[in-house]
Amino acid sequence: MKTLEPGAARALTGTPDEFLRGCRADMATARTEADRFAAMKDAPRAESLRAFDDAFAALGDAAARASLTRNVHPDAKVREAAETCEQEVDALSTELSLDRRLYDALAAVKLDGADPVDRWFVEKSLRDFRRAGVDKDDATRAKVKALREELVKIGQEFGRNIREDVRRAPFTPDELAGVPQDWLRARPAGADGKVQVSTDNVDYVPVVTYAKREATREAMWRLYRVRAPGNVEVLSRMLQKRAELARLLGYPSWAAYVTEDKMIGSADAAAAFIERVTQASERRMRTDAEQMLAAKRKEAPAAAEIFPWDGAYLQERVKAERHGFESQAVRPYFEYSRVKQGVLDVTGKLFGVTWRRVADAPVWHPDVEAYDVLDASDPRLNSKLLGRIYLDMHPRDGKYKHYAQFTLANGTGGRRLPEGALVCNFPRPGKEPALLEHSEVKTFFHEFGHLLHHVLGGGTRWAAHAGVSTEWDFVEAPSQLLEEWTWDPAVLATFAKHYQTGEPIPADLVRRMKAADETGKGFQVRQQMFYAALSLELHRRDPAGLDSTALAETLMERYTPFHRVPGTFFHASFGHLEGYSAIYYTYMWSLVIAKDLFSEFEKAGLMDPRVAGRYRAAVLEKGGSAPAEQLVTDFLGRPHGFEAWTRWIEKDDVGGSPGPGSGTAAAGAQR
């Protein structure tokens, strides 16, 4: 067998023309393999499925590389080339998905004696063809194709408007009182005595969380929610085109279409799930709101209500009062470089891999670090190379604004190594140490969970099943599961050491942090349900005459303790409406499963390599080669249930020592 070499990032190191040529070469491979597959007569199953899989793998890799490139490349010209590539790849992908020859050839593949992996591959691919509209008449297929191409462009426009609209507001240092000192030192005031605060998360989050002055928080909160104003109209076009496409394909709404092939199965089930979570968190949310108002009255006795710009700030106040915990107290223990090493060490030990830095690997920006992933789980494997990861961790202009794992290459067992990138916006170590919040540490583990899934699941028989190619509403389970390790005193003590003294984070501080985290859980869950309901309802209703701003305001009042704030339009910069469309509920759905998966680790001990090994084999390495519910059932020995999640949401912040199963839902903008 030939040795597999990583290095897919080389495609991001050339000129815009070279990038496009590479992209078109992959497209040519896809066409050749697709034609070869369509022309095969009575070839052995393995051979014909290989051609079919190779065609879509070439296309999938080109699409993934283009998506990463348009989000991270420092050269705007290369980003433009990537957008062009993405449009062309998507057009070809639509064309192939509507190609009757391929559908008929796949339907003719004989499944006698096939194992469940091949069966699932064929059945699911046939369903994907039908969902694409392959069995519709020529005129309908032409309309589907045109709509899909238009939607790619609209989606890019939506994302670009958000990326390119960074706003800044000036404040005097006094107006920023309460914000961490190191943050202020890193942003000296200009000649006018003002600090320019941007709407990037590295600025926005600390200011709305810590600024004591309400007017400062309010100004930033509003500024953040007037970004990308043009997107209100772009969104309206996007919703109309999506609804039109869904109706052409025989579905009542885009929400119905997009939920059909998920674990949840239907838009009604998604709505029922959101309602169930909403009911289950009602009591907690009311308590949280009362506690926040009480905290506000200590500073402003006449206060009659809490506002959305008070949310993060007042939660901090409540945590401090009830648990003697200030989020900033843990920051000295979470210096960025130590956290990074901690993530590598903890996951390496747990899942039996080693990370080897490749200093001379081709990368797209000097910030980016590459690591080869070696299998250390079995000495007989002699540190087999499993794939490569890239860490692009700090903000820069023109770069993606959130936190996400991107695929660079999909793995296939014995044929291609998986490569993936983390694209994040953590503060950059410099003159000031980059001290993270615990929520950022959690985000790091979360995104790394996706990356592990991608790499460890990169050895499947078919590229179509690689890594995170599982049901979309299962994808957040492995990542939210990994967040749990950030709440364990013993795990944290291994890497969370004071940046000046080297002292490990005290266990008592971690316990107080954990108890404080129970505070505000109802409020956070409801915030998530607001996003979930907004994403679902925008795609469930008739888009004709739909006022998305009014809907967002109504839903905010329904799910959160806040009243509407006229003049703001949060949804215009809610980037997930592009990628997730109707299915933002997936975070909470996956969390329900993650809580259940974690119960196995809790029983055995967090660093137990047997449970982790079993989980790696039963869930991560399987990727999408079986339905997710089956993988979960294989690991748990039963289907997943709500019990572990219900215990978590009902657990109070007083009485009893919080067990290790009580991490919070991933809030905020990460994927």
Q: Note the residues at the interface with Zn ion (CB under 5 A).
A: 476, 479, 671
Query: In angstroms, rounded to a whole number, what is the distance separating the alpha carbons of residues 369 and 356?
Result: 11
462 vs 598 by CB, closer to Zn ion? 598
- The separation between CA 654 and the C-alpha centre of its own chain, rounded to angstroms, equals 32
Among 637, 598, 607, which residue's Cα sits nearest to residue 351? 607
What is the Rg, in whole angstroms, of the alpha carbon atoms belonging to the chain? 25
616 vs 671 by CB, closer to Zn ion? 671
Query: In angstroms, rounded to a whole number, what is the distance separating the alpha carbons of residues 412 and 462?
Result: 6
Least distance (Å) between residue 632 CB and Zn ion: 17
288 vs 476 by CB, closer to Zn ion? 476
The amino acid that residue 120 corresponds to is W
Least distance (Å) between residue 68 CB and Zn ion: 16
78 vs 270 by CB, closer to Zn ion? 270
Least distance (Å) between residue 421 CB and Zn ion: 14
Least distance (Å) between residue 223 CB and Zn ion: 26
Q: Does an H or E element contain 170, and which?
A: strand 168-171
Specify whether the CB–CB gap between 313 and 418 falls below 8 A: no
Least distance (Å) between residue 529 CB and Zn ion: 17
The amino acid that residue 470 corresponds to is T
271 vs 468 by CB, closer to Zn ion? 468
Among 582, 667, 545, which residue's Cα sits nearest to residue 242? 582
Least distance (Å) between residue 449 CB and Zn ion: 7
Q: Does an H or E element contain 628, and which?
A: helix 628-636
70 vs 402 by CB, closer to Zn ion? 402
Least distance (Å) between residue 404 CB and Zn ion: 7
Residue 198: count other Cβ atoms within 10 Å of its Cβ: 18
133 vs 458 by CB, closer to Zn ion? 458
Least distance (Å) between residue 475 CB and Zn ion: 7
User: In the 8-state DSSP scheme, what is residue 375?
Assistant: E
Q: Which two tokens stand for residue 522?
A: 């109802």
DSSP output for 558-572 = HHSS----TT--GGG
Burial 395-410 (b: 16+ CB within 10 A, else e): beeebbbbbbbbbbbb
338 vs 450 by CB, closer to Zn ion? 450
Least distance (Å) between residue 624 CB and Zn ion: 16
Least distance (Å) between residue 351 CB and Zn ion: 18
176 vs 343 by CB, closer to Zn ion? 343
Query: In angstroms, rounded to a whole number, what is the distance separating the alpha carbons of residues 608 and 605?
Result: 5
User: In the 8-state DSSP scheme, what is residue 253?
Assistant: S
Specify whether the CB–CB gap between 488 and 422 falls below 8 A: no
Least distance (Å) between residue 481 CB and Zn ion: 11
DSSP output for 206-231 = HHHHH-S-HHHHHHHHHHHTTS-TTH
In angstroms, what CA-CA distances link 155 with 55, 162, 163, 502? 25, 11, 13, 47
94 vs 407 by CB, closer to Zn ion? 407
151 vs 205 by CB, closer to Zn ion? 205
In angstroms, what CA-CA distances link 402 with 147, 229, 552, 579? 28, 19, 22, 13
Query: In angstroms, rounded to a whole number, what is the distance separating the alpha carbons of residues 136 and 157?
Result: 29
Residue 356: count other Cβ atoms within 10 Å of its Cβ: 12
372 vs 447 by CB, closer to Zn ion? 447
Query: In angstroms, rounded to a whole number, what is the distance separating the alpha carbons of residues 454 and 411?
Result: 8
Least distance (Å) between residue 479 CB and Zn ion: 4
Least distance (Å) between residue 72 CB and Zn ion: 17
Q: Is 22 left (phi over 0), alpha (psi -120 to 50) or beta?
A: alpha
What is the SS3 assignment for 390? Answer: strand
410 vs 479 by CB, closer to Zn ion? 479
